[in-house]
Each structure stands twice: as structure tokens, then as C-alpha cells.
């Protein structure tokens, strides 16, 4: 009788553990694959699990109830597909930075869906603009616009209004951005900080403010490409990260303020992709040469040229390993434009969901180590620290020798 009871308990335990693993594992997979807004759902699920566990200890048949509940949830999840997308016909979308990368790919994709796309480029005669003109429909409108130039933005607004007529603008995709940085925060040139802020923050700020009346008229969508480096301390990306952090605060504030107007605001956080000049060796060499020439002799001596050279090579290697398929980001931009209920935050690309999960829920020491291992894996330490370490090691060796001599003298 006792053995039979133990077997029943063991069976119940393993059934319970199996159901728990499937249930919690499914929630975790959803959390890591989408975004952190699933965290409250996870907390509620775990809280419910604790209650069910207590119930199971009092009333064992509750395990069967949990299994039925889990099966029902899985069935509903499999049946419940994505909500129907909004139609693209008659909707206009303005996209910045379409010379290459995410902007160009998104312009082509939205055009294929039937949107009226207004794509801004730096050079109307450049290869990116020429390719868009050749591959897209007649609905596509190209405008020359440098987002740091107010007169270009105003001219783009006039062109957009002429195309829209009495319609409002359904979507503004803030994609244009720049990253000119290959060194530690102390080594980064002030011009790099200013350059990133001018484009990534002030330029995007000006474009957004200029086109907001058209967005409000259509009760449309504001979609902004940000970066995880604007929220997490990526080594060697201080200038870029600071500009994206400022942009993030501005966009989040707008999200609250535009809610009464019916404008939905989404921010996209992509992982590293091969875009723009990221895989151009000549570009990196030019950046590095300019960096060295403008660095003070004191800092160059303290850090050492081999330390700076390694940083450049790590950036080049990281860019070379980045995926070329931009569809994860293009798909999230599209979802933010056509979904009846777009997400506030989108995480696009391999590893970015896991990175945010670790950053949000793990101790800071583990999060920092993960970030350093993931991004810039420095092996060379600054030259000044090497000299200090050499002096310390030399003093330690001398002290050890003196101690050994003292011991030998006492033995005699």
C-alpha cells in the first residue's frame, strides 16, 4: 500500500513537472522572441502557478486541471493567428535615409505592398536612389533631404503636401542615422559627439516636428529606428549611444502626448546588421586615420596605438559578421504601420531579445559581462596600465627575492 502510494505521488510529481516545463518554457520563449511587454504576463503566470501548486498539495486532482488548462491555452494560441493587417491602399508613408540599408529595403517593400512611399535620400543621382527609381512603382516619390538642413526638410514637406493633396500622412519612418565612432568614450572626438547628436537627435527631432501635423491629421503612425546602445552601455559607442538615448526620451514623451490625437508611436531596436558603410574597409581606415590625427599625444601615449588598432579591427570584424538579411527590421517596420494594435517596442534581429532580458532581470555584473563578451572583446589593455602592471610585478618580484634572502640568512 505504501509503495503504491509512493508510485502515485511520483507519477503525479512528474506529470506536474512536465506540464510546468511546457507552460513556463512556452511563456519564456514568447518573452525572448518578442519584447519585454510580455513580462507582466510572465509574472502573472508564475503567480498563478504558485497558487496552483499550493492547490495541488491540498487536492492532487488539481494537477489534471492544470494540464487541461495548459492544453486549452496551447490550442487557443495555435488557432489565434495575427490580427488582419490594415490595407495599404491610399496610405502614404515618408521614410528618411533611403540611400541604403533599412531605409532603402523598407521603401521597396512598402511600395510592393501598395503604399504611396515618399523616400528621402541624400543624393538623387546616387546608386541607392537610382535603384529605387528602377525597381519601384510609379507611386514612389524621391526627395533630396539632409535631415540636418532645415531648408531641405521644409522643401520635403512641400513636396509631400503636393503629393498628398487633402490627405494626411499615414506613416513617418525615422530611419536616417549615423554612427561615427571607433574608440572609448574618453578618446572619442567632440566632433563625433556633435555629429551624432546633429543627425540622430536634432535632425530626427526637426523632421518629426515638421511632419507631425500631417500625422495627426491622418491619426497615423510614427516609427523610429533606435538602438540598444541608447539604453545599454555598449563599449566604444558612447557618442552614438548618447544620441540615441536622447532620441528615445523624446520619442517616448511624444508617445504619451500623441495618444489623445490617435497617433500610435513605435520604436524599433535592431541588432547589428550589415548596412551602409559598415562593411567598407576604406571607410574604417579613413575613420581611423582621422581619429589618430586628432587625438592628443598624451592620450595616444597612455592608451597606445596597438590598443586603438585592436578596437578598429574588432569593429571591422563585428561588422563583417553581421547578417545581410534586413528583413527582420523591414518586417517590424511594416507591422508597426499596418497592425491594428502596433507594439510600442520592437526587437529585431538575433540575440537582441535575450540581451534585453538579461539586462532587465539579471544582476548588473552579469549583464555587463554579457555585453562585453557579445560586442567588443578587448584583449589589449591600455599602454599606461601595462606599464603600471609591469612596475607592480617588478616590485612584487623584488619583495619576494628580499623575503627569500631574509629566510636564507635566518637559516644560516
- CA pair distance 271, 324, nearest whole angstrom: 12
Long-range contacts from 122-127, C-beta under 8 angstroms, 24+ separation: 122/146, 123/99, 126/99
3-state secondary structure of 141: strand
d(CA 285, CA 401): 48
The set of residues, in sequence order, having a beta carbon less than 8 Å from that of 147 and lying 6+ positions away, is: 96, 97, 120, 153, 176, 199, 203, 204, 206, 207
d(CA 258, CA 217): 12
What pLDDT sits at residue 166?
A: 92
β 116-121/141-144 pair status: parallel
Spatial neighbors of 345 by CB under 8 A, at least 6 apart, are 35, 36, 37, 266, 267, 268, 269
Residues classed as catalytic: 240
The DSSP annotation for 230-280 comes to GTS--TT-HHHHHHHHHHHHHHHHHHHHHGGGT-EEEEEEE-----TTTT-
Which residues of 65-216 form beta strands (DSSP E)? 92-95, 116-121, 141-144, 171-174
pTM of structure: 0.76
Q: pLDDT, tens digit, for every residue of 83-139?
A: 588 999 999 999 999 999 999 999 999 999 999 999 999 999 999 999 999 999 999
| pLDDT at residue 75 in the model | 55
Which three cell numbers, joined as nine digits, stand for 165? Answer: 493633396
- How many whole angstroms separate alpha carbon 237 and alpha carbon 244? 11
Tens-binned pLDDT, residue by residue, of the chain (412 aa): 545 554 555 555 555 556 555 555 555 544 444 444 445 445 555 555 556 556 666 665 655 666 666 556 555 544 444 458 899 999 999 999 999 999 999 999 999 999 999 999 999 999 999 999 999 999 999 999 999 999 999 999 999 999 999 999 999 999 999 887 678 899 988 988 999 999 999 999 999 999 999 999 999 999 999 999 898 888 888 999 999 999 999 999 999 999 999 999 999 999 888 776 666 677 778 878 888 888 888 998 999 888 888 888 887 777 777 777 898 999 999 999 999 999 999 998 887 888 888 888 888 888 887 777 766 677 888 888 888 877 777 766 666 655 655 555 555 5
Is residue 345 within a helix (H) or strand (E), and if so which, with residue range?
strand 345-348
Q: What is the pLDDT of residue 36?
A: 45
DSSP secondary structure letters along 44-82: HHHHHHHHHHHHHHH-TTHHHHHHHHHHHHHHHHHH--P
108 in Cβ contact with 137 (< 8 Å) = no
Amino acid at each position: 500500500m505504501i509503495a503504491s502510494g509512493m508510485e502515485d505521488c511520483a507519477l503525479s510529481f512528474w506529470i506536474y513537472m512536465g506540464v510546468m516545463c511546457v507552460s513556463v518554457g512556452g511563456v519564456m520563449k514568447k518573452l525572448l522572441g518578442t519584447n519585454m511587454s510580455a513580462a507582466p504576463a510572465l509574472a502573472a503566470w508564475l503567480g498563478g502557478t504558485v497558487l496552483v501548486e499550493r492547490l495541488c498539495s491540498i487536492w492532487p486532482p488539481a494537477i489534471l486541471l492544470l494540464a487541461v488548462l495548459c492544453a486549452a491555452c496551447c490550442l487557443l494560441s495555435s488557432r489565434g493567428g495575427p490580427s488582419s493587417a490594415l490595407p495599404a491602399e491610399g496610405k502614404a508613408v515618408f521614410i528618411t535615409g533611403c540611400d541604403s540599408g533599412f531605409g532603402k529595403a523598407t521603401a521597396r517593400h512598402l511600395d510592393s505592398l501598395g503604399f504611396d512611399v515618399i523616400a528621402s535620400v541624400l543624393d538623387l543621382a546616387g546608386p541607392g536612389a537610382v535603384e529605387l527609381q528602377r525597381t519601384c512603382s510609379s507611386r514612389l516619390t524621391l526627395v533630396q533631404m539632409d535631415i540636418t538642413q532645415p531648408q531641405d526638410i521644409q522643401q520635403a514637406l512641400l513636396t509631400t503636401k503636393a503629393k498628398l493633396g487633402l490627405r494626411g500622412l499615414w506613416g513617418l519612418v525615422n530611419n536616417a542615422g549615423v554612427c561615427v565612432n571607433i574608440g572609448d568614450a574618453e578618446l572619442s572626438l567632440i566632433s563625433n559627439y556633435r555629429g551624432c547628436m546633429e543627425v540622430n537627435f536634432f535632425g530626427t527631432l526637426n523632421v518629426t516636428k515638421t511632419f507631425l501635423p500631417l500625422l495627426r491629421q491622418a491619426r497615423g503612425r510614427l516609427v523610429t529606428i533606435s538602438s540598444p546602445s541608447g539604453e545599454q552601455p555598449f563599449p566604444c559607442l558612447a557618442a552614438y549611444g548618447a544620441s540615441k538615448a536622447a532620441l528615445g526620451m523624446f520619442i517616448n514623451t511624444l508617445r504619451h502626448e500623441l495618444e489623445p490625437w490617435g497617433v500610435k508611436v513605435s520604436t524599433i531596436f535592431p541588432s547589428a546588421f550589415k548596412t551602409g558603410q559598415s562593411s567598407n574597409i576604406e571607410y574604417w581606415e579613413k575613420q581611423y586615420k582621422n581619429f589618430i590625427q586628432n587625438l592628443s599625444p598624451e592620450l595616444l601615449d597612455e592608451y597606445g596605438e596597438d590598443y586603438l588598432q585592436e578596437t578598429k579591427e574588432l569593429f571591422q570584424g563585428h561588422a563583417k559578421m553581421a547578417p545581410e538579411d534586413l528583413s527582420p527590421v523591414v518586417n517590424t517596420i511594416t507591422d508597426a504601420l499596418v497592425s491594428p494594435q502596433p507594439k510600442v517596442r520592437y526587437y529585431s534581429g538575433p540575440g537582441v531579445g535575450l540581451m534585453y532580458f538579461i539586462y532587465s532581470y539579471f544582476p548588473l555584473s552579469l549583464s555587463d559581462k554579457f555585453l562585453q563578451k557579445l560586442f567588443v572583446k578587448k584583449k589589449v589593455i591600455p599602454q599606461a596600465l601595462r606599464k603600471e602592471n609591469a612596475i607592480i610585478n617588478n616590485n612584487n618580484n623584488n619583495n619576494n627575492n628580499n623575503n627569500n634572502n631574509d629566510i636564507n640568512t635566518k637559516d644560516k
